[in-house]
A and B are shown apart, each in its own frame.
Chain A
Amino acid sequence: MSNEPVEQQTVLQRVLDDINFIMMLGLVIPTVLYTLWGVMEVASLPIAR
């Protein structure tokens, strides 16, 4: 696991251990790909007359 000094850790291990980065990823990805993209699609529908 990650007892080694920081320089020896792989990038993946450092990402896995960085809980704040994981929080950021977990909020940004679905907000952009699901919510914002989805909402933009609904917003760009023409209004019926």
Chain B
Amino acid sequence: MAITTAQSPFRTDPLTGLRIDLTAQALVKTNAVLAVVFLLVGGLAGLLVALTRWPAVHLLPADLFYMALTAHGLVALVVWIVFFEMAVIYFCATSLLNCRLAAPKWAWAQVVLMTVGTAITTVAVLQGESSVMFSAYVPLAAAPHFYLGIILFAVGALIGCFVFWGTLVIAKEEKTYEGSLPLTVYGCMIAVVIAVFTLATGAVILIPAFLWSLGLIKSVDPMMYRVVFWGFGHSSQQINVTAHITIWYTVAGLAFGAKPMSEKVSRTAFLLYICFLQLGSTHHLLSDPGLSASWKIVNTSYMMYLAVLASLIHGLTVPGSIEVAQRRNGLDNGLFEWLRKCPWGNPVFSSTILSIIIFGFIGGISGVVMSVEQINMIIHNTIYVPGHFHGTVAGGTTLAFMGLTYYLVPVLFQRQLILKPLAAIQPWLFGGGMAVFAVALMGAGTLGVPRRHQDMTFAGQALAYDYGGMNQLLMAIGEIGGVISVVGGAAFILIIVGSILMGEPVPANAKCIVAPPADAGGHKKIGMGGFEAPGTFVLALTLFVCLVLYYFVNFKYLATLWPLT
């Protein structure tokens, strides 16, 4: 392969000591800023949706509700997250491998295509003829440019993946690092592999839908669409999971000097993701007729549990490595001294740890349980589903991305954060609100309240159903949590944009913000009862017990709903 040796300029960052390729830096900044702008748009749409589903407020009429819901799903789930991921993979591949970016022109093409695609699809949604939700199930038809914009966006993202891959190849050929890829870059690589499958699958299904909307092909089979669509729709969530877990590892290293408990175990867990994670796509189709129980169960249970095992490994090793680092630095008393004395007021840390907790306890447990074919019947298409995935994608992914952003603004923009006291509580507002929102919606969903529904009271409808006061209350509590979370999201955007525009420059003699590796020479004994990280072990057992209990409670509940004797 012909690789030019022309070097783009670098700078050495005073805060981290990293050598940063300036072209890559410009791309990282652009993608990150676009991401934050779209988080604002997606969050506002989410506020409108939440204020409609709060029964006492019931803000929007039906047509606007479905328009806002389509916009919220697309912009928050796809646009914000993928732009941010582009920033992350470019940053890791260059700064952490000490390498220049492959094909910067193509990387700019990624930015342009994704921006133009977003603009086109947004226009389509706002024109009102495309309120089809992000899943756009055929034969529900959107305007042709709705699909076109998504396709352009996906092509852009795919180009970004190839730029990342090319950078790995260059780094290897130019020997800019030694040995295996660092774990953080490794995680990005895994995310990119999943992304290539995801985007290819997206093309396979969205291009026919586009041609159909133009009238060039007669029909797209709805069942076929659902199967292929979720290969795209679900796998894209697995990119997010992989990306935010990678960020957990990164922050643990940067903030505590924590080293993964075992590189090999962590990497093997990532390999399990590659083999099994995407198969979970089947969980969207557990209630679909026409697909065999074998296909459903092999994919969601047998295979998926191996991926869940991998998630448990990550969930154990990241806090475990923090615990070990803290104990080595002297916080070795009792089970939880290391945890109590974590920097809870530092938004980089609190975002990350809240992301781990919310993702594990809310998103993770509910996800595993609802992927059981029988239990899925209780909650399929109910508001439980949004409850679950706000635990994963908002409380988990989005919060982790926020934490990394707090870290990167001083590095990339060389500005200090403004409004530090607000920043200290922001992750608690966003994460806490999201946790209330998710749990309350899961409650209402278990009792049958539907998702994607403008009026759960069915006012004026011939075939009405009364969900009762309990459900109205749960929805109100949930949406109040949602509003708190929007306040947290707005605070984040204010702090980040404000810091970029008006923050004090980072002083030239600034203190390094990377923690030195935790007392590495220390062979001193830490931990209790032969465990180096006993606190994490107890927390992991707690998670496991919650999971098992919740699993059986759901089966018990199912049995009362459908008495089988």
Contact = CB atoms under 8 A, between A and B. Distances in A.
Interface in B256-301: 263-264, 267-268, 271, 274-276, 278-279, 281-282, 285, 290-292, 295, 298-299
Contacts of A27: 193, 196-197, 200
Contacts of A11: none
Which size bracket describes the interface of B in this complex? 35 or more
Interface string A15-49: 11101001101110111011101110111010000
B298 A26 contact: no
A30 B279 contact: yes
Most buried by A among B178, B194, B223: B223
A1 interface: yes
Interface in B206-253: 221, 223-224, 227-228, 231, 235
A12 interface: yes
Nearest to A13: B264
A3 interface: yes
B362 interface: no
B441 interface: no
A2 interface: yes
B299 A34 contact: yes
Q: Taking chain A's interface residues, is the majority helix, strand, or loop, or is none over half, making it mixed?
A: helix
A34 B278 contact: yes
Contact of A33 (B168, B223, B271, B303): B303
Nearest to B303: A33
A34 B279 contact: yes
Contacts of B560: none
Consensus secondary structure, chain B interface: helix
B295 A31 contact: no
B223 A45 contact: yes
Contacts of A15: 271
B180 interface: yes
A38 B295 contact: yes
B211 to A, nearest CB: 18
B196 A42 contact: no
Contact of B274 (A1, A25, A38, A39): A25
Task: Choose among B194, B278, B298 the residue with the greatest number of A CB atoms under 10 Å from its CB.
Answer: B278
Contact of A30 (B168, B278, B292): B278
Contacts of B290: 41-42, 45
B460 interface: no
Contacts of A43: 224
A24 B298 CA distance: 21
A48 to B, nearest CB: 11
Contacts of B190: 22, 26
A3 to B, nearest CB: 5
Nearest to A28: B197
Contacts of B165: 19
B179 interface: yes
Contacts of A12: 264, 268
Contacts of A16: 180, 264, 267-268, 271
A23 to B, nearest CB: 5
A42 B180 CA distance: 43
Interface string B298-333: 110001000000000000000000000000000000
A45 B221 CA distance: 12
Given A26-B197, A34-B279, A37-B295, A3 B223 contact: no
Contact of B263 (A1, A33, A45): A1
B436 interface: no
B346 interface: no
B180 A34 contact: no
B201 interface: yes
14 contacts: A16-B180, A19-B168, A22-B274, A26-B274, A27-B196, A34-B231, A35-B231, A38-B227, A39-B228, A41-B292, A42-B221, A42-B223, A42-B291, A45-B290
Pick the 3 closest A-B CB pairs, nearest first.
A26-B193, A30-B278, A38-B227
Interface of A: 1-3, 12-13, 15-17, 19, 22-23, 25-27, 29-31, 33-35, 37-39, 41-43, 45
Given A1-B263, A26-B194, A29-B275, 14 more contacts: A2-B180, A16-B180, A16-B267, A19-B165, A25-B275, A29-B274, A30-B197, A30-B281, A35-B227, A37-B295, A41-B290, A41-B292, A42-B290, A43-B224
Interface of B: 165, 168, 178-181, 189-190, 193-194, 196-197, 200-201, 221, 223-224, 227-228, 231, 235, 263-264, 267-268, 271, 274-276, 278-279, 281-282, 285, 290-292, 295, 298-299, 303
